Amino acid sequence: MVNIPSYSVAPGQIVAVREKSKSLEVIDNALAGFNHSKYPWLEWDENTKSGKFLHLPERADIPENINEQLIVELYSKN
């Protein structure tokens, strides 16, 4: 069990909700609007509330509209 938010997950590892937390309303609400098929590098199991990290995503796999240059510029200011 890992409870470190910054833990780096490696391909093939499974991340799951703790058994005693699976019935919490906040967990259900957070997962209710999540489109699990949107990310091809993740495999989601609704029954066990767990996900398997399949592989590192390529930039083309990420559907969000992100401008990496703006992020680089922000962190370069300091």
Tell me the pLDDT tens digit for each residue of 22-71. Answer: 999 999 898 887 777 788 899 999 889 999 999 999 988 888 888 989 99
Which pLDDT band holds residue 78 (cuts at 50, 70, 90)?
low
**CA 78 – CA 60 distance, rounded (Å):** 29
Q: Which residues lie across from 53 on neighbouring strands?
A: 42
Nearest residue to 56 via CA among 38, 39, 44, 31:
39
Q: What is the pTM of this model?
A: 0.70
Q: Are 32 and 25 in contact (CB under 8 A)?
A: no
Segments making up each domain of the chain, as ranges: 14-76
Which pLDDT band holds residue 1 (cuts at 50, 70, 90)?
confident
Q: Is the pLDDT of residue 3 over 90?
A: no
- Number of neighbouring beta carbons within 10 Å of residue 40: 13
